[in-house]
Amino acid sequence: MTNTAIQVDLTYLRTVSGGDETFEKLLLQNALSDIQLQVSSLGEAWRQKNAVAVRTAAHTLKSVAAIAGLAEIETLCRKTESSFIDGQFHPEAAPVVYSIIENWQQARLVLQQIIAKD
């Protein structure tokens, strides 16, 4: 778990949206739902010690986190995806997986605040 505030960099999102704030909020709302789903899938895959599902969830989550400007979560997902590329379960990856889950709890609140702004 990080002791610093979650950083959200919406540069990429703003490039994709062309500066359309309504579209940005829509993309962030969709990302919020997608990320929650993937984090839940990651947690369940971890509990089941399913290496393939852990890798799949991390791979999908990596892309959505990038769109949402969550570089730290994206980086952690890259590490997780790489750790499970061999199809074997790696319990030593627990700190990284738990960091994804914990960081998401903080990031979700930040994204909700961004979406709620007028």
Q: Which domains does the chain show, CATH number per domain?
A: 11-116 (1.20.120)
Measured between alpha carbons, how far is residue 105 from residues 21, 55, 82, 113 in Å? 24, 20, 23, 13
Q: Report d(CA 10, CA 24) in Å as an integer.
A: 9
In which band, very low, low, confident or very high, does the pLDDT at 5 lie, cut at 50, 70 and 90? confident
Q: Report d(CA 87, CA 12) in Å as an integer.
A: 32
Which tens digit of pLDDT belongs to each residue from 45-73? 999 999 999 999 999 999 999 999 999 99
Model confidence, pTM:
0.89
